[in-house]
Structure 1
Amino acid sequence: MSRIVRIPIARAAVVTFAALLACLLAASVATFTLGRLGLSVEDLYTALTQGAADGKQAFVLERLRGPRLVVALGVGVALGLAGALFQTVTRNPLGSPDVIGLSAGAGAGAAFVALLLPGVVPTPLGALAGAALAMLVVYLATGSGFRHPGRLIVAGIGVHAIGVAIIQYVVYAVERDKATVLTAYVNGSLNTRSWEQALTIWVVLAAVVPFAMLVSQRLNVSEFGDELAAGLGAEPKSARTAAVVLAIVLSAGAVTVAGPISFISLTAPQIARRLTRLPGPHLTLSALTGALLLVLADLAAQQLPLPTALPVGIYTLALGGLYLGYLLIREWRKGTL
């Protein structure tokens, strides 16, 4: 007598995955086809499938929009994953690497080298150093490393405030032209991205994602409480520390290639969770949601007819503001505020 083995699959997760993937594909196609230099869908298909790009097609695909899109996809995935890991650790919908001062530290590092070492130290290297220093200060300030979520957030808020103060001082102190360029970078920008930067973020993802998947299994068990998780061998405290470290590495990789882009890591995991209404970190769905949000924000940055082109980080800040407003109204209606 034969037996049928049934593997439980969450239908909501599968449907959400397919929908996000379809939306991401549509947004990617729009990135190449919209605007004055946009390609026709037929030309895009021919160039991608037959490798026959030349002239305008080659310029758009290989120099203007191709690297920019690949960087946006990688950065969005990295920030979505980082936010999912961090929010699972803190069990707080407002938890993200932004909250603990990583983005502000990166911006402060970029601003510092732009003011004191212009042309000597590359801005992305200054941003990476600033992010690392901010995380070191948070680590030491908590008194318990990354093991205590509450202390982590409180220390991070203080570091974030200091980082923002440094950024504002430098923007005020430097010359106007330099301040304009610096402001674009510290808000997060995908302008003039290169294939080297695309390779950087995807190498970071290739190195970190396998470990993130392993940690997520232990975090799933921790959702039932530390005592049960410890009894099952999940070691919840070390899992949380590992998750925070991985989130920091992912965020630092994103900062290195695109500057400190805010709120993607905050909103992407929450959108993914609400689409499926299932427990768990939702790493894959958070990654897809982060990529979709950033590609759409960058599409707006490229195509909206504004007097001055704005960096993509301005649009993600607007997205974050809308999300926080939604949270405020929702909690008010529930009577928790």
Structure 2
Amino acid sequence: MKQTTADRVPPSSSRRPGRALVRVGPWVALPVRRATAGAALAVLVLLAAAAAATLSMGRLGIALPDLPSALAGDATGKNAFVLNRLRGPRLVVAIATGGAFGLSGALFQSVTRNPLGSPDVIGLGAGAGAGAAAAALFLPDVVPVAVGALLGALIAMAVVYVSTGTGFRNPGRLVVAGIGVAAMATALTQYVVYAVERDKASALTAYINGSLSARSWEDARTIWAVLLVALPLAALLARPLRLAEMGDDLTAGLGVDPGRTATGAVALSIVLSAGAVSVAGPIAFISLTAPQIAKRITRGGGPHLFLSTLLGALLLVLADLTAQQLPLFDNLPVGLYTMALGGAYLGYLLMREWRQGL
């Protein structure tokens, strides 16, 4: 029988309505929903605009006509100081830190299948705050606060891992254990803030609320290294996570181990959050809100890992721009602004879940 043209075309998810094929080199072709690609492009444009505003606004800002040449390496005098010391490192750290938190939240929410799930829920941020506080009180000249925060986050996650009895495989136990660890870590943090001297307590409070002030290029290299290593690993998890949304039995029937997928996603989520916390402190709610906004923009299923990364970066850059330029609350830690944003969004999600349950 003669084979028609239609018979020779294999079925492909890239040919579904609403999907496009994105090629990376001659061997890799990835199916991408057009709605997701359009949303990602729009977020990139907004992120570029927010970055330009961060560098140009205010009394010390670089004038917009001078910004392209400054970015090309021709900055001198005040512009060089603003770009290389004052705002440039802070902006680069904000983009990568927000992206790391957004990707971390997308991975965690995909595993738990819970819109209220985030690494904050399992005590990572609280553990980081406790680690920073302990380093400031007990080992002030031995362990830097950022290193203490990283160690605190990792210790908190180790305690959660052991407490569940099943590692990171059971989302329900994970959340319950995380709440308990977060409560203990918060108690330790409050004790330290009460016990240390007033000046040290003020600096420590700023850090444990999440701050981007006085960031350096070393901080930028650290968090960008974490993010760039994590992104390909997250891409490898995208298909198993998408299959896992259909249920463990069906996922296993398609040849994907749901337990291994969940463990890998949670472990990568923890690494991303710990890396972000080590350079900026436990900035709250970015990991909660970015994946949820991604889902509502695209109105489609799936973990939306790349879009959540971009949205996390945009949210944190906008929050930091507000922290720098809002005269009413000068020099407040950026984490307080994300708390306000995240608290309002969390209230919206809770009301939405409550109404759907009626």
- Is residue 141 of structure 1 aligned with residue 163 of structure 2? yes
2:237 paired residue number: 215
1:279 paired residue number: 301
Structure 2 Cα separation of the partners of residues 205 and 214 of structure 1: 14
2:111 alignment partner, one of 73, 89, 92: 89
Deviation at 1:308, TM superposition (A): 4.1
- Is residue 33 of structure 1 aligned with residue 56 of structure 2? yes
Deviation at 1:216, TM superposition (A): 1.7
1:254 alignment partner, one of 265, 273, 276: 276
2:36 paired residue number: 13
Deviations 1:139-171 (A, max 9, x none): 000001001000000000000111111111111
1:313 alignment partner, one of 309, 323, 335: 335
- Is residue 324 of structure 1 aligned with residue 346 of structure 2? yes
Structure 2 Cα separation of the partners of residues 333 and 252 of structure 1: 35
Residues 1-337 of structure 1: pairs in structure 2 closer than 5 A: 7=15, 8-9=19-20, 10-49=33-72, 51-306=73-328, 308-334=330-356, 336=357
Structure 2 Cα separation of the partners of residues 100 and 196 of structure 1: 29
Structure 1 Cα separation of the partners of residues 124 and 311 of structure 2: 21
Structure 1 Cα separation of the partners of residues 5 and 249 of structure 2: 40
Structure 2 Cα separation of the partners of residues 287 and 308 of structure 1: 28
* Higher CA-based Rg: 2
Structure 1 Cα separation of the partners of residues 345 and 281 of structure 2: 21
Cα RMSD of the aligned pairs, angstroms, is: 1.5
Structure 2 Cα separation of the partners of residues 2 and 142 of structure 1: 55
Structure 2 Cα separation of the partners of residues 17 and 271 of structure 1: 12
Structure 1 Cα separation of the partners of residues 329 and 232 of structure 2: 44
Q: How many residues align?
A: 335
Q: Percent identity?
A: 65
Q: Is the 8 A contact 2:212 2:280 kept in 1?
A: yes
SS at match of 2:146: helix
Deviations 1:258-303 (A, max 9, x none): 0111100011000001110110100011000000000000001100
Structure 2 Cα separation of the partners of residues 115 and 217 of structure 1: 45
What TM-score results when the alignment is normalised by the length of structure 2?
0.91
Structure 2 Cα separation of the partners of residues 31 and 252 of structure 1: 26
Structure 2 Cα separation of the partners of residues 269 and 234 of structure 1: 23
What TM-score results when the alignment is normalised by the length of structure 1?
0.96
Structure 2 Cα separation of the partners of residues 168 and 187 of structure 1: 12
Q: Is the 8 A contact 2:219 2:279 kept in 1?
A: yes
Deviation at 1:113, TM superposition (A): 0.9
Gaps of 5+ in 1: none
Structure 2 Cα separation of the partners of residues 231 and 269 of structure 1: 28
Cα separation, partners in 2 of 1:130 and 1:331, compared to 1, 3 Å: same
Gaps of 5+ in 2: 21-32
Structure 2 Cα separation of the partners of residues 322 and 233 of structure 1: 41
Cα separation, partners in 2 of 1:128 and 1:309, compared to 1, 3 Å: same
Q: Is the 8 A contact 2:324 2:330 kept in 1?
A: no
Cα separation, partners in 2 of 1:316 and 1:236, compared to 1, 3 Å: same
SS at match of 2:282: coil
